[in-house]
Chain A
Amino acid sequence: MESTSPNALADLVRRAQKGDEIAQRDLIVSYQHRIAGFVYAMTGRSDYVEDLAQQVFIKMIRALDRLQAPAQFESWLFRLARNTCIDQLRRQKLRRIFLPFGEEHENIPEPAGAVDTEELDALRHALAQLRPQDRALLALVQEGRSHAEIAEILSTSVAAVKARLHRAREHLREHYQPDHET
């Protein structure tokens, strides 16, 4: 949706809010790749991407009529995506308490060839070392969200976002070793 003007986006959102399926489809097509990237950055699992992205867009369609300001659509959508991913990670953590499987059974490494380059593999590894909240922060910055928008998405202050972002970047740099042993 980078090439679409804010007015055109707001118009598309309003049509989708009225139940126009073509507009809903256009919104999904416009944002599916960005949401997929966000989900992958949050979970580090290729096999979660489609399922979680689908959950995000179903929530979007069901809750769209409650969105008051269509201009805030992007922030709102990424808040949905963040909450969906964090819920999934929490459920995964909870499941580990009740099921006799170790973390190593759930976090099966990507099969060979699934991740293209050493850098990407290193980035995935480095992101996995961070807290989900910090991953969300970095992924939102990569999405081009401003500090004010991120503060709104995370329900916090701009100063807190700046401080957390600084720490998250430091941690990412510490863990980012393109030749890391997996």
Chain B
Amino acid sequence: MKPDDPAWRALNDHASAQLRGGFADRVLRAAHGPQAETWRQLHVHAARQLRTGFAERVLRAARAAADMPSLASQFALSAATAAVCLGAVLFLHNRSAEQADARNLAEWRQIVAAVEEIDPTRL
């Protein structure tokens, strides 16, 4: 079968009809990768996402952030609060333990005195 046979021509026509318009341009773009113009479009698109007054909003947010306590100072405050709470718990625990000891001792003294009254020879 020769290349100029109608069947070959029909096959070529059918195959080339499958290629969408701008095929050569697309091949060249894919082969060369993105051009500088495409990168420029990316920057333009990104810049459009910033609303008017961006710089003022950043400065306001930076001022607000500066007024907020730092992470370290928040941590120090939390640690100090925890230490005070622990100290208070230990103090109250010691005080109630001492009171209980004093109460028990007084009761024992009463028992000893009662025993002495009943049978002084046993002591």
Contact = CB atoms under 8 A, between A and B. Distances in A.
Range for the number of chain A residues in contact with chain B: 35 or more
A176 B30 contact: yes
Interface of A: 21, 24-25, 28-29, 32-34, 36-37, 39-41, 46-47, 49-50, 53-54, 57-58, 61-62, 115-117, 119-120, 122-124, 126, 142, 169, 172-173, 176-179
B17 interface: no
A39 B46 CA distance: 8
Given A32-B55, A34-B43, A179-B26, A119 B34 contact: yes
Interface string B53-69: 01111110110011000
Interface residues of B, number: 31
Nearest to B61: A58
A35 B20 CA distance: 37
Contacts of A172: 33-34
A54 B57 contact: yes
B82 interface: no
B97 interface: no
A28 B53 CA distance: 11
Contacts of B43: 33-34, 36-37, 40
A58 to B, nearest CB: 5
B58 A117 contact: no
Given A28-B54, A28-B59, A37 B26 contact: no
Interface string B39-57: 1011101110111001111
B95 interface: no
A40 B58 contact: no
B27 to A, nearest CB: 10
B18 interface: no
B38 interface: yes
Contact of A46 (B20, B34, B45, B61): B45
A24 B45 CA distance: 24
Contacts of A41: 42, 46
14 contacts: A28-B54, A33-B46, A33-B50, A34-B43, A36-B43, A40-B45, A53-B54, A54-B58, A58-B62, A61-B59, A120-B38, A123-B34, A178-B26, A179-B26
